[in-house]
Structures are given as structure tokens and as C-alpha cells.
Structure 1
Amino acid sequence: MLQKLSEDDFGVNVLAKEVRLSRSQLHRKLKSLTGKSASCFIRETRLLHASELLKENNNTVSEIAYKVGFSSASYFNKCFHDYFGHSPGAHKHFPNWQNKPETEFKSGRRIKPCPNLYHRLNRHIWVIIVVILLVILLLFLWFWI
């Protein structure tokens, strides 16, 4: 699988074909084993492979991003930071940092979950609430003075 990671078109359909399962069977099996969807599993595998390449390779972060199958270096940076909690550049320059994603697989391996829409919406709602409160505070101060 690691050999095919660098291919742009490598995705859930290709993985399912490689392991000779239907897409839905693959999803069910991965979900039961790892608690992750197939696309999250592929992304996390790419990120773990990139982590190893960053430690032992002199390539740039962008080159490694493309080498592990990301088509956008900025998306790779975002995913890497979300997953490991620091940038790939920092990871490259401080290779002794341990990979400590936030939650665990059922097997005990630590993995950060893929964010879902519910969590993203919750973050946006809190930002909107804070902005509204700041506007109210500013209006109150404006009329008070």
C-alpha cells in the first residue's frame, strides 16, 4: 500500500480493489478495526509515512507532501498540524519529537480522529457567539461614554 500512496488517484476505491473487498465491506472492516473511515485511514497512513520521511530525508516539506500522495502542500500542512499538533517544518527540524496524536485505536495505537462536520460547526458557532458578545460590549461602551 505504501508504494501506491504517492499516486494522486489512490483512494478508497483503489484500496478496496487492492484488498479485493467492496467499498462498503472495506468501510465496515476498517471501521470495526480502527474506528476510522477508509479515507481517514488512508490520510493517517500518509501522514505517518510523511512523518518518517521528514525525519530521515533531506527533501523539502512540499516534496514529501507530494511523495506521500497529497496534491496540495497547504492541505498537507493543515492535515499534519491537525494530526500531530505541530507543523511538518518543525517536525523536520526537531526529529526527536514523538508522534503523539490525541486518541487511540482499539489496538492501542494513538490516532487523532478525523474532524467531523458537527465539531466544525460547533467551533464556528462559538466564534460567532464571541463576535456578537464583543459587538454588544463595544456598543455598550460606545453609548456609555
Structure 2
Amino acid sequence: MTGTVQSVALEGRPSHRPWRRGQEARASPEEMQELLLPTPLEMHKVTLHKDPLRNDFGFSVSDGLLEKGVYVHTVRPDGPAQRGGLRPFDRVLQVNHVRTRDFDCCLAVPLLAEAGDVLALVISRNPLTQSGRAPRAPGPNSPRML
């Protein structure tokens, strides 16, 4: 497969020929194949114990923008979710043995809220997302912590 790239340098890929602004450059078949490969996802099992003082697990969820599913939105600093390794952008695939891959928040939030004191999650994580991003504190329009 051969593709055409105009005035764009591919970050993180050393080039054997210089890129010049305004000129067309052909990407090699190997470079095109690498661009088309799906991003590998990491799967994690996370067990959280409810914070007895705040009566929550210390994270909020939101619906996916481009893909159906429920994603971790915010993680409270030093809360059960952060201590358990949960991060923003993690996708919630299972809650206490109930598959949630095709759920939206309307279905997932009651399931999370009724979990009791222990929450067993299976999540998927894109290893390319910014893991060092500081979690935002929830604002007035942010989802509520679960």
C-alpha cells in the first residue's frame, strides 16, 4: 500500500529523507502499515474498597465521545480509585462480574452505586494516553463521584 503525505512530519519516526514544506512525500509501505495498526490495549483487574468517610470509591464516569462505552472521567487524589490504580480515560468493561462494554452511564452508574463496599472492575487502558495528567477536581458540572 502506498500513501501520500503533504507537509506533515510523522512524530517519533526517524526519516531517511528530509521532509520539505509544501512538497509531497511518499510513505513507505512499512510506514503506512504501522500507521494503520490498531493501538494495543492493556487489560487490568482493579478491586476497590469504599472510602468509609466519603462513602464512595473516589472516581466518576462519563460516556465515550467517539465510541460507545463508559470511561473513567476523574479520579480523586488519594482516594480508593487512585490507590487501586484507576486512571482517567480507563474504559470500564466489567463491574462485579457484569459485562459493561456496551453500556452507557445510564446503565453503569446504578450498577456502580449498588456495588456495596467492594467494587471489582475490569478495565482497558490505552498505554499511549497521558498517564501523567493530573486529575481534575470535580467542578459544578462534572460527574459526581461514585
Q: TM-score, normalised by structure 1?
A: 0.23
Ranked by relative contact order (alpha carbons within 8 Å, sequence separation 6 or more), the top structure is: 2
The structure carrying a bigger helix percent of its residues is 1
The structure carrying a bigger strand percent of its residues is 2
